[in-house]
Each structure stands twice: as C-alpha cells, then as structure tokens.
Amino acid sequence: MIIVKVYNRINTILKETIKGDLLLWDITFTANVNWWQWQVTLQINKDITTTDYVLWDIIKIKRYDEDIKAGWDLYMWYVTKIGRKQTTSRQFIELSCLWVASILTENSAAFIYDNKPVWQLARELIDSINSSYGGTIINYTTWTIPDWASLWIGSISTTNASDALTTLANASGRKRYIDWNGTCYMFTKPLTPTHFLSNQKDVESIDIQQEIQEMTNKVFFWSRYDVTQNTSYQDNASITLYGSKFLQQQVDIFWQTALDNYAIQYVNDRKDPKLQTTLVVNRDYPIETIKPWDTVKVRNFEYAFENIQIEKIQYTQDKVIVYLDQYISFWQQLKALAIW
C-alpha cells in the first residue's frame, strides 16, 4: 500500500495524508548518486478545490506492507507543478514533483574559503541553502559528513551548490549522495555488502555490458587559482594493457594535497574498461530498501558480485532496476573466462 503525506514548504506541518487507493498511477521514479533531477508525478482522485495544494509543498511517499507491518520511505519531493483536471467521469489533481536535492542545482555556491577542512565547507554550504529557504530542507549529521583532513583553498563562485558538493567530495576521494529524507552523505564505499541478493529468486535478470571508450589512465590537472599548483598521475598497468588514455584539465582545486587526491581518485575510477551491469530485482526482496550508494552481493551466479556499489535505481511498485558501478575484480573474472 502506498501512502502520500503532504507537508508545508519547510517540512514542519503535516497538511494531508493520502491513501494509495486515491492514486491513479503507479509510483515510478529514477534515483542515482550523481544526478539530482529525479521526478515523480502523482494523480490524485479527488475533487478540485481552491485550497487543495500549493507549489513547494513537501511530498513524502511511503510504501507500507500490511503482512510484515513495516514501511519504507520513498524519498522526499517538492511540488513544482499542479494540474487540476476534469473528465467526463472524474475530477483529479496532478502533482509534478522533484526530489528535494534538486534545490542544490538552483542555488549558486558563491563563497570564498581560506584553508578550511572540506567537511566544514560542505556543512556551511548546506546551512546557507537551508537558510535561504527558511527551514531545514537538506540535513546532515557529523556521521553522514564526517570530519576528515583534506583542505580546500580558493573559491566556488562559478558553479551551483550541487557541483560544488561534488567537487568537494571528489577532492577528498568520496562521493556525495542525498537519501530519502534529504540527508546529505559524503562517504567512501561501504566495506561490506548492504544487500545480499539471490540469482533466479530476487534477481530476475542480469545484463553485463563492457566498453573501453570512457577509460582514462593518465591525467594532468592544474588549479584555476594558481597554475603552479598542478598534479599528474597515471596507472602503468592500465597503460601497458590498453595504451595511454590521457586527459588534461583545469579544475577548481587549489590545495596541492586535495589536487593529488582528486587525480588519484579520478584515474582509479576510470583506468579499466567500463563495466555496466544491470540487475532486475523483484518483490521477493524488500525493494524499497535498495538505495543508490548501497552495495550488493549476488549469490548463485557464476561470476563474483561481492560488494558492488549501486549507482542508480529505477523504481516501480513491482520491481527495481539496479545499475551497478564498475567492479574491477568482476571484470578480471570475465576476462579470464573469455566471454567478452
């Protein structure tokens, strides 16, 4: 059963609870680590009034399982478009919503920093965004954005807040992600699997695609703020196998250690053939618990899926399509078995 809860703009007052039998469409959406513009459309079977909904209402969608008496939140959205419609048989309201993290793409990061820890810059950036909306829309804790040592010197004045957070995360060898309730994470990959899936039970199908076009195994980066701050890094094993795949680029990083970290992380993420693996997971597994950023282990499959990170999901009420990150040891097994 789907439940929709409608809150005011700053997520402090519950205005309405909508049961799933009033929804005319199934709930479907796409969610991933590195992109913010997820969207969902709700068609609500109710009479039109002048006070039904307002733009920027916060929408929380929850799936509740009567059998196990448990529920899962399906991310938090805000209303960007309202359609009030009448047909020969009914009136209904259509709400078009974006995931709350999309507000980061709508706000600039016009700040100048001097020798501050990356975690502090990330927290200050989120605080400034929340302040502009008059309430806490994006939140964090000292666990989800932990203290670490990498420093940043310079400005983030020519980009939006989403890109600024990505740059800060990359400079410290991390990724950023905002979860179902608007909490921002800047973490390294989990060391143990978050989900254990069984092939031919939970997993309906597996699709593996491998390609070489997007590889990078050698880089030279220099700072926009001081050209004397530069770094180079290469992976010799990858160059021996595939030849040089070189990239040179100016980046918004000043501090030398952060620049070095960024180059190492960039090459390590791209030095091998890109492996795109897609799993279709059905409702034999609690699919609402599957989130981007989690990792999976697949049982009963000939090739190892030991702890692969999820980059993107496509959710429907019956199944989730899971897109997995590149996984090197899995690629090596494919290579050894000569099936590519």
Q: Which of 38, 71, 100 is the last residue of a domain?
A: 100
pLDDT at 17: 92
pTM summary value: 0.73
Given a cut of 80, whether residue 152 has pLDDT beyond it is: no
- CATH for 143: 3.55.50.10
- Same domain (yes/no): 37, 152: no
- Same domain (yes/no): 171, 293: no
Tokens 């092939």: give the residue.
199
Q: Please state at what angle helix 256-270 crosses helix 161-171, rounded to 10 degrees.
A: 90
User: Long-range contact list for 229-236, CB < 8 A, 24+ apart?
Assistant: 229/253, 229/254, 229/255, 229/256, 229/259, 230/259, 231/256, 231/259, 231/260, 231/262, 231/263, 232/263, 233/260, 233/263, 233/264, 233/266, 233/267, 234/267, 235/267, 235/268, 235/271
- Same domain (yes/no): 321, 202: yes
Given a cut of 60, whether residue 340 has pLDDT beyond it is: no
- Same domain (yes/no): 79, 125: no
pLDDT at 332: 41
pLDDT at 113: 65
pLDDT digits (tens, 9 = 90+) for 180-194: 888 998 887 788 899
**Rounded-to-integer distance, Cα 22 and Cα 43, Å:** 8
- The larger pLDDT score, comparing residue 201 to residue 300, is at 201
pLDDT digits (tens, 9 = 90+) for 78-112: 999 999 999 888 899 999 999 888 888 887 776 66
Given a cut of 70, whether residue 53 has pLDDT beyond it is: yes
Distances (CA, A) of 73 to 58, 121, 129, 138, 170: 13, 29, 24, 16, 28
- Same domain (yes/no): 151, 283: no
Q: Which of 270, 294, 309 is the last residue of a domain?
A: 270
- Same domain (yes/no): 201, 286: yes
- Same domain (yes/no): 200, 292: yes
- CATH for 44: 2.40.10
- Same domain (yes/no): 93, 154: no
Given a cut of 60, whether residue 23 has pLDDT beyond it is: yes
Choice among 63-67, 106-110, 317-321 with the minimum mean pLDDT: 106-110
- Same domain (yes/no): 259, 281: no
- The larger pLDDT score, comparing residue 91 to residue 68, is at 91
pLDDT at 331: 39
| Full residue range of the structural domain in which residue 174 is found | 107-187
- Same domain (yes/no): 205, 331: yes
pLDDT digits (tens, 9 = 90+) for 237-262: 999 999 999 999 998 787 788 889 88
Q: What is the mean pLDDT of the chain?
A: 84
Most trustworthy range by pLDDT among 142-156, 191-205, 305-319: 191-205
Write out the chain in H/E/C secondary structure: CEEEEEECCCCCCEEEEEEHHHECCCCCEEEECCCCCCEEEEEECCCCCCCCCCCCCEEEEEEEECCCCEEEEEEEEEEEEEEEEECCCCEEEEEEEEEHHHHHHHCECCCEEEEEEHHHHHHHHHHHHHHHHCCCCCECCCCCCCCCCCEEEEECCCCEHHHHHHHHHHHCCCEEEECCCCEEEEECCCCCCCEEEEECCCEEEEEEEEECCCCCCEEEEEECCCCCCEEEEECHHHHHHHCCCEEEEEECCCCHHHHHHHHHHHHHHHCCCEEEEEEEEECCCCHHHCCCCCEEEEECCCCCEEEEEEEEEEECCCEEEEEECCCHHHHHHHHHHCCC
Residue 307 is encoded by which pair of tokens? 């702890």
- The larger pLDDT score, comparing residue 65 to residue 322, is at 322
Distances (CA, A) of 123 to 13, 71, 138: 25, 30, 10
pLDDT digits (tens, 9 = 90+) for 107-151: 777 666 667 788 888 898 899 888 888 888 899 999 999 888 777
Given a cut of 50, whether residue 153 has pLDDT beyond it is: yes
- The mean pLDDT value for 158-170 works out to 79
- The larger pLDDT score, comparing residue 329 to residue 17, is at 17
- Same domain (yes/no): 311, 200: yes
- Same domain (yes/no): 69, 123: no
pLDDT at 335: 38
- The larger pLDDT score, comparing residue 303 to residue 168, is at 168
pLDDT at 36: 60
Q: Nearest CA to 295 among 278, 311, 316, 273?
A: 311
Count of structural domains, the chain: 4
Per cent of the chain over pLDDT 70 is 90
pLDDT at 326: 62
Distances (CA, A) of 281 to 201, 256, 315, 325: 9, 43, 10, 16
Given a cut of 50, whether residue 333 has pLDDT beyond it is: no
Identify the band that residue 214 occupies on the pLDDT scale cut at 50, 70 and 90.
confident
Given a cut of 60, whether residue 328 has pLDDT beyond it is: no
